Amino acid sequence: RTLNEGQNEYIQAVEEFLPTIAAYLEQNPQVEANNLLDLLLEPERIIQFRVPWQDDQGKWQVNRGYRVQYNSAIGPYKGGLRFHPTVNLSIMKFLAFEQIFKNSLTGLPIGGGKGGSDFDPKGKSDAEIMRFCQSFMTELQKYIGADTDVPAGDIGVGHREIGYLYGQYKRLNQFSAGVLTGKPVDMWGSLARTEATGYGLVYFVKHLLADRGDSFAGKKVVISGSGNVAIYAIQKAQALGATVLACSDSSGYIYDPEGLDLAIIKDLKEVKRARISSYVDERPNATFFEGQSIWSIATKYDIALPCATQNEINAELAKTMIANGVFLIAEGANMPSDLAAIELYREQGILFGPAKAANAGGVAVSALEMSQNSQRLPWTFEEVDAKLDAIMKNIYENCRDTADKYGAAGDLVTGANIAGFAKVANNMLAQGLV
């Protein structure tokens, strides 16, 4: 559609999606008869706004804010806020589009949305971050609410930012704990939300492996990124007996032949907000590869978990990964593999867990946070963690069984897309296509 010209990431996400639901469309002619796909591809609402804020020198700065309220067929819009200089409408729309089906797969009543800003939190003081968040929420609060649209964190938006955003929402409105998720635990947040996306990803892979009589024990794993998703994926993979050899940030990657020391990474990233290169100061046997993609690493390993950002793996890097012995790739980040890379995984018979399914644990626990906020009762870590594991098992089995049913056995991309889409389509048709 010409309306989307130049929105490359969005077009990519749609092009990945549409061919995989062909078998479903054939068996369900009511979808095309009602022109449902055209409706689906048009977001219900897009909000774009100016975010003015003052830096520490008293100079006014301006950024652009977005909220894409893409589809509310199965519940209030739900999806994170991303603060990163690369944010634009295309990225917001691709993320919101994928979020619709991911949220549907969780089995919980949440629609799809996404938001954020081209603001770069890197190198900003706490006070600058606070002023930016307050200005961002001053505008965003007009459009969100616990029963209408519930944002959470994403790249560049962690507890600190959610705290400031929540504080500003509260100043401008009545108390409403459920308007944001990913809140700090003593601020109406849920235990295990911080860990949820990374843990959920590893649970998804655990169930995929278990289906083949296999497990994480003794496996060598490489995980990109060193943010929220990567850190807790590393933690859970290690807990299940894997050795995680490498991780990264946007400056390069570290390789530790003895296995990563997660305590050092957590201290660097969660406390000091430092670069990953500092890891080698404390681990002399480790090496830092400046400016290089982690997927160009030359070492043998079994499982790759991309947890940084979109399009980090192209066909060339995918070839290197497969040559290194990788037999399973599961996506913690959103759309980290480009279309050519996914095609190669298919050709080479790589076990592949697509983002929509494999990283749904974060939003699933966000929905559990909404439940706890409504109940005014916090659940224990163990309770939330057990529910997360059960949800990821259910998502995996649903994708597997749906792929089988539509003649694409073993293709979890097809399984995830059809299973996620069917529920949304049924709801849209039942509601008169709204």
Active-site residue flag, 266: no
Q: Quick one: which segment of 124-132, 203-211, 244-252, 277-285 binds ligand NDP (CB under 6 A)?
A: 244-252
Listed ranges 71-79, 137-145, 183-191, 331-339: which one lies at the site for ligand NDP (CB under 6 A):
331-339
Exposed (0-12), middle (13-18) or buried (19+): which is 405, by Cβ within 10 Å?
middle
Binding mask 286-325 for ligand NDP (x = CB under 6 A): ---------------------xxx----------------
Please identify which of the residues 78, 93, 102, 114 carries the catalytic annotation: 114
- Kindly tell me which of 34 and 277 has the beta carbon lying closer to ligand NDP: 277
> Distance between CA atoms of 331 and 416, rounded to whole angstroms?
13
Name the DSSP letter for residue 155: T
Task: HSE, CB side, 13 Å, CA atoms: give it for residue 296.
Answer: 9
Using the contact rule CB under 6 A, the part of the chain among 6-14, 246-254, 316-324, 420-428 near ligand NDP is 246-254
Could you tell me how many residues of this chain bind ligand NDP (CB under 6 A)?
22
Site for ligand NDP in 213-232 (CB under 6 A): 225-230
One of 155, 165, 305, 392 touching ligand NDP (CB under 6 A): 155
Q: Which stretch binds ligand NDP (CB under 6 A): 6-14, 153-161, 258-266, 418-426?
A: 153-161
| Tokens of residue 27, six digits | 């068996």
190 part of the interface to ligand NDP, by CB under 6 A: no
What is the side-by-side order of every strand in the sheet holding 220-223?
287-290, 252-255, 243-249, 220-223, 303-305, 328-330, 351-353
User: Per rule CB under 6 A, is residue 420 in the interface with ligand NDP?
Assistant: no
Tokens (6 digits) for 103:
């949220």
Closest CA to 355 of 317, 293, 399: 399
Q: Is 249 in the site for ligand NDP (CB under 6 A)?
A: yes
Q: Footprint of ligand NDP on residues 65-124 (CB under 6 A)?
A: none
Q: How far apart (Å, rounded) are the C-alpha atoms in residues 403 and 417?
A: 9
Helix 89-105, helix 361-375: angle, nearest 10: 70
Q: Is the dihedral of CA 76, 79, 85, 86 positive or negative?
A: negative
Cite the active site residues.
114
For ligand NDP, the binding residues (CB under 6 A) are: 153-156, 197, 225-230, 249-251, 307-309, 332-334, 359, 362
